[in-house]
Structure 1
């Protein structure tokens, strides 16, 4: 076949070496930069030498179709002859097909169906460096199938990056890497032009700033004015493509502006991928050949595709990648800066046919800070479908497979939990019969579950229509109202989106098991819709009941949606086939979304508002002006949350009612008896929840005393020991115990707040058992309770070691102040200490008491722990200052021999 092609491209010279390597080793790696012809010439060379069909796997549908058309054109044939292709929802092959281009997702499905790949002589994995999930699986499964079942199968990994050691090792056998063959790049230089915006644009992962789109459009105008040839513009998504196209609308009288992304119809993609061959422009849909073109493309144009006529690339510098918020179960496509490797790939589009130019909408300094390579999808994406594929292959954890990178543990745990909740895998992670049915649907496991379980409820056609709408996010259109988008597609307002949607509906409808109730409701057309990328799901599990919660029942499904309909007077006509098929469309859509994402069922926080709480525990907001505002319940299909934002933003949802929510999220429906500390007191109630959403509650007349005690302990730890009734005696005892701990060591209990709260069950046990509410804590005898902390062997010595009062020489019993455990204080009038040669000591004589000696008026005149020294040096000064002020009180010259007194000399009459 290659001999029939006269096209000379750089890869052609190394193809004999590629075929020889495959013949010798059975596997190999071809490294060929963009524009060298590997995608179109290598399959033809391999087909010349191998028996059986050559499968070429491409990560993207656009690239698969384009590669097949390109090879067929080189052979002067139409697609469907010796060159064919198969993508989701479309296959063009025939009995003479020798080369079939498929998406990596279809290759994975074929391997599940026929691991031997009967009739296939070679598999070529193109653009394997892009590291999409399906590409990783296709590589791993093909390597294992070749080793175990088909040693004669040729396997070639083709990459545009020279970092091939990893792939060579994965494809090699007996410890030796597979041979690597490299081709040189096409010799067309590309000049880089740095064109950052005049003012910095703040990055936002959920949206592209209009200011940046303005700048991209202005850069396109600059490129058209400064350079010749067609312009290829890289933007992150279809929305941005539409935005820039609108900004260039005034150029359409002299420039053809064409979009190129994966959500378009094949015919529309062809318009961007081929220059018109008729200069008069008479062929439908093609512009005149002499007009310049501006092709606005997503990352689908980075590799494997040659957009003819392009001499200039304008790169916005952004890429859209999947991200999974594991903690909230929210997955979304986010916008990130492009990697340096991807920027190089994009720039190469300008030099495929001649020297070119690339305008980069960022600075050279910013370029140096970009990541070197894009993150592999396995590191950031939702892995639920990936985990199901592994389970279906018989390797639930992927161990032993030739995966370029192992899946992250946390993401795989969430994925397996999700699959277990769907009944797709057993406790060991092995696939179940239901799991195989889900996998056979060819959609994300959550969407497959909605299809299989929703068809009997709402009818097979409506189930396929809504699931196709969820799978093909690109057909939804503007706004967050999913049923409104459904109605627009039925009406065929957007022909391109409707065609894709209908194709996917037909595929999903055919995937339903035979005998599924047709359920054709009024107003629908059989076999509509389509789907591209499975919606991003969540793998969260609702929070388990914490301390103080008791689960007393798990009702499973509540009232059925049909019952809800009858409650609204929507009786089913005689002869109907099922309760759900006569639900209104809005409620049917909500039911299906709820089946796919039960943890995203959401109830309004207040009537008529746009703020919601999802069953998974995440708060969510509708956009201002949303038509869904005021809905009491929503089934959220798509939501995302900006980093650091307290709530998620609802992007797509359908209204539901509580009965439907209870039905579709049965496993999340729990009835609990809950006794907890709430709003400053014990609250005991029976509550029914749907995940984090509280549905009903009623007070418990006789709560469990143990749980009441636990709640009271929680209250003490939250609000502090001040909840207890602390008398002066209790405070004094606590201080004495703290002194003993300080002076005598660890045999005495700690009585600081932290220690008392930690030991509360021990010293407050009987009081907590008797208490029922906050007020009861204020009546606790804290003094008696604290004594429980003192070991029995020490309890009798407390008054000896830390006496509450000390007898002074005058005979008075004065209270000791233990507020400072390191220095207990005795405040006593000076005249009452006459005759005391030294200060008293406590704690078995280890600690001297700090004397606060007071004047007759009770004011401190001296502080000392060394009374003997005070009598010698301090007292004479005090005597001289005070005896004139207090003449009725004794001030002897020798206080150590004077009689102590607590009385003054009586006045003379």
Structure 2
């Protein structure tokens, strides 16, 4: 048996497990961890070893290589198990399983009877099921099975946080047997306007021309890009055989891409499935397209979408390493050297961006609805988890956060909770629809109507993709339950009650979805004129999702399926376009209005409440702020007895404005509404008194005259004759902070001669100049040398004096 880099640390790994029962193993791609670790641990345990792989192809391949090492057929000492496929026997001691299998085993028998070791391979991929599986396994080890051994293996993940989460598990690191890889970047960015697939085809042709030895592996984000690049390549060198590699391919085609070429060399166009675990022989050249496809879930819309993003540094390193496994190699990168610094370090964990419905169901079944107490390397986001719990509640899977019997039944199905609910309630044919919606579209580009796909499956037509779906449908048929005779549209409406769409008015094929989102379709599609649809596959665009698959739904089918959720509602709401409150009686299903009538007898209080939305829409300036209202608001602000900022008044509309909106309905009515009385009543007697003390309406002059204080400019201000404040030696103030009044001192001719907020300072300084000027203009009025000692007056001297 050939020596591999991992072999040097296998004794240390065995010792760590014997002493602590847990370990974190770091080893680069090609070190041999996937196929050597389980075999090395086998002599130390009496029971089974479970090894989790994130991908089906990798699970089959790893099991096959280990069985070959032992010289046995698959299913003896080494076997594999995944959804819909297994090769195991009573003698199997190493089971390579896909990640969801472990969760099902733990939920069924939490103490994992007969299992001694659980290995999490390729944990750096941070799949949602791996995170959940590790959290549950770690709790089982602490509560039920202190003898259960756990190994977490990774190629690029920072091991320290994982080790810390596992109570400071030992970290072991194996050096890889990697050959030098010559990294070649593009000299300049791809020209604007050149299609990605064409540019990639040119880069692949260049790689085949420049490096004539060894096979070539090309990383592309998805199947669509693989097919387009294959078409754009043109004639290949005579010694090159083209292969495609992606998860949904038939297994025999996947095997053909992963076998050593008998003659010549292979050109493998692959998704990220080839980044880890899989061994592709004779690869000397890698062409990295620089893109990765990831699922992103928007909890506010309840929709997932696949987004194409730039690869991370960790992914780029992993991909480049594929070129140096068997000999020195070359990696061509579809980006410039300067662009490399902008790459993120690691891809985001799936738990941070994915649909958490299945996670929420498993947590509820486990008895920890919010994941409290479980060891998650990245805790599930609260918003996405709440959205998932809301969906499960609408499906009847949980009630008050606790799992129901229906939820327990859903958890046993190898389906998303939506589709499981459909199969358990949708009757005959629901299994076929569930199989179709769980897999890739077998008729990609054939229009939106899902019925055409169901017809193709039921036709018996020979096609690998259709055959796979028929096989899966047959496997799921044993779970079918519910009332017979339901149409596919009714079945789909059970799975997607929030994606039932009602066509908007107008010529464009646009729908308002029952969950509150919007959707659109290409003009001319066979479903583009349907009044009601169930949107089964959407791209998740934040503004308006594009429908990729749907079924037409009649109103009778909607009522038969969700009649208990359809009801008449009386609605008063502000119509921003019409600038008025509309009172309607509406028959609704969730956010959809199926019937709409006027509501002439709508109570005035309902109209007034809706009018508050009009004020929020138009802003406070839509009201009639008379001078009196402005003064009152300014006094309230100065006194600080209430917050009367725009934001605060909008938030408290129900308290001060609502009681005074009776009889009003339109924006024109609001323009006649003077808030003075409403604000006065809102203040009440006690606050009005406090306001009167802190921000009085008048200033009492030394003569005892009440001079109105103007608060409208923000600084309290009074205007009065200069002679009226003779003898005033302290500057008058107002408000809780004792803000000085701004005093506009007038001449006998009522013209401003001084503006001051410091009257004693004015007397001591500028008054002398004012006196000199005013004595000549108004000789009959008093202008004493010391105004602080003079009596205030508004009278002039008699003539001749």
TM, length-normalised to structure 1: 0.73
Which residue among 230, 233, 241 is the counterpart of 2:226? 241
Larger Rg: 1
Whether 1:447 and 2:428 are equivalent positions in the alignment is: no
SS in 1 for 2:584: strand
Output aligned runs, 1:663-812, within 5 Å. 663-665=560-562, 669-678=566-575, 679-716=578-615, 718-719=617-618, 731=626, 733-734=628-629, 746=639, 768-769=661-662
Q: Partners in 1 of 2:25 and 2:690 — Cα distance?
A: 84
Query: In structure 2, which of residues 775, 780, 786 is the aligned counterpart of residue 872 of structure 1?
Result: 775
Q: 3-state SS of the aligned residue for 2:74?
A: coil
Structure 1 residues 69 and 703 mapped into 2: Cα distance closer, same or farther (>3 Å)? same
What is the rounded CA distance, in whole Å, between the counterparts of 1:782 and 1:36 in structure 2? 77
1:25 to 20, 27, 38: 20
For the 8 Å contact 2:501–2:535, the answer to whether it is kept is yes
Give the match for residue 185 of structure 1.
176
Report what 2:206 is aligned to.
Answer: 222
**For residue 328 of structure 2, what is the aligned residue in structure 1?**
355
In 1, Cα distance between equivalents of 2:31 and 2:406: 46
**Residue of structure 1 equivalent to 2:554:** 657
Q: Structure 1 376/665 Cα, relative in aligned 2: closer, same or farther at 3 Å? A: farther
Q: Does 1:211 align with 2:195?
A: yes
Residue 154 (1) aligns with residue 127 (2): no
Question: Whole-Å Cα distance in 2 between the matches of residues 66 and 758 of structure 1?
Answer: 62
- Describe the shift of the 1:776–1:464 C-alpha distance in structure 2 as closer, same or farther (beyond 3 A): same
Task: Give the stretch that moved more between structures: 465-474 or 40-49.
Answer: 40-49
Q: Distance in 2 between matches of 1:758 and 1:121?
A: 60
Q: Which residue of 2 aligns with 1:82?
A: 77
Task: Quote the offset at 1:58 in angstroms.
Answer: 0.6
SS of structure 2 residue aligned to 1:407:
coil
- In 2, the alpha carbon distance for the partners of 1:452 and 1:874 equals 100
1:667 to 1:407, Cα distance in 2 relative to 1, 3 A: farther
Is 1:738–1:750's contact at 8 Å kept on the other side of the alignment?
no
**Shift in Å at residue 492 of structure 1?**
5.7
Secondary structure class of the residue paired with 2:402 = coil
1:816-846 CA deviation, whole Å, 9 max, x = no partner?
Answer: 99987966779xxxxxxxxx99579999999
Distance 2:38 2:772 in 1: 107
Taking structure 1 as reference, are residues 687 and 82 closer, same or farther at Cα in structure 2, changes over 3 Å only?
Answer: same
What residue in structure 1 maps to residue 442 of structure 2?
475
- Structure 2 residue aligned with 1:346: 319
Residue pairs, 1:473-872, within 5 angstroms: 473-475=440-442, 477-478=444-445, 479-491=447-459, 495-512=463-480, 516=481, 578-580=484-486, 583=487, 588=488, 590-606=489-505, 608-642=507-541, 646-665=543-562, 669-678=566-575, 679-716=578-615, 718-719=617-618, 731=626, 733-734=628-629, 746=639, 768-769=661-662, 872=775
Other-structure match for 2:258: 273
Please provide the CA RMSD for this pair. 4.1
1:488 & 1:763 partners in 2: Cα distance? 64
Displacement of 1:291: 2.8
CA contact (8 A) 1:739 1:802 kept: no
TM-score normalised by L of structure 2: 0.82
Distance 1:358 1:267, change over 3 A: same
Does 2:282 match 1:309?
yes
Deviation, 1:412, is 1.6
Q: Cα offset for 1:767?
A: 5.4
SS at match of 1:117: coil
Deviations 1:627-680 (CA, angstroms, capped at 9, x unpaired): 3322212211222345xx632222222222233344545676453222233323
- Kept in 2, the 8 Å contact 1:610–1:622? The answer is yes
Give the superposition deviation at 1:213: 1.5
Aligned to 2:410: 438
- Output one character per residue of 1:265-324: Cα deviation in whole Å (capped at 9) or x when no partner: 111111111125xxxxxxxxxxxx213211111111111111112111111111111211
CA gap 1:701/1:316 in 2 versus in 1, 3 angstroms: same
Q: Measured at CA, do residues 670 and 189 of structure 1 come closer, stay the same or move farther in structure 2, by a change above 3 Å?
A: farther
Q: Is the 8 A contact 2:181 2:329 kept in 1?
A: yes
Give the match's secondary structure for 1:689. strand
Give the Cα separation in 1 of the matches to 2:540 and 2:453: 23
User: C-alpha distance in 1, partners of 2:712/2:217?
Assistant: 81
Mapped to 2, the partners of 1:385 and 1:254 lie a distance apart of 47
> For residues 753 and 13 of structure 1, do their structure 2 counterparts lie closer, same or farther at Cα, with a shift above 3 Å needed?
closer
Gaps of 5+ in 1: 1-5, 202-208, 277-288, 518-576, 804-814, 827-835, 855-859, 877-893, 900-909
Q: Aligned partners of 1:296 and 1:341: how far apart in 2? A: 20
- Are 1:638 and 1:653, in contact at CA under 8 Å, matched by a contact in 2? yes
1:476–1:486 Cα contact (<8 Å) kept: no
**Change beyond 3 A, Cα 1:433–1:210:** farther
How many angstroms apart in 2 are the aligned matches of 1:339 and 1:492?
Answer: 43
Check conservation: 2:639, 2:691, Cα contact below 8 A: no
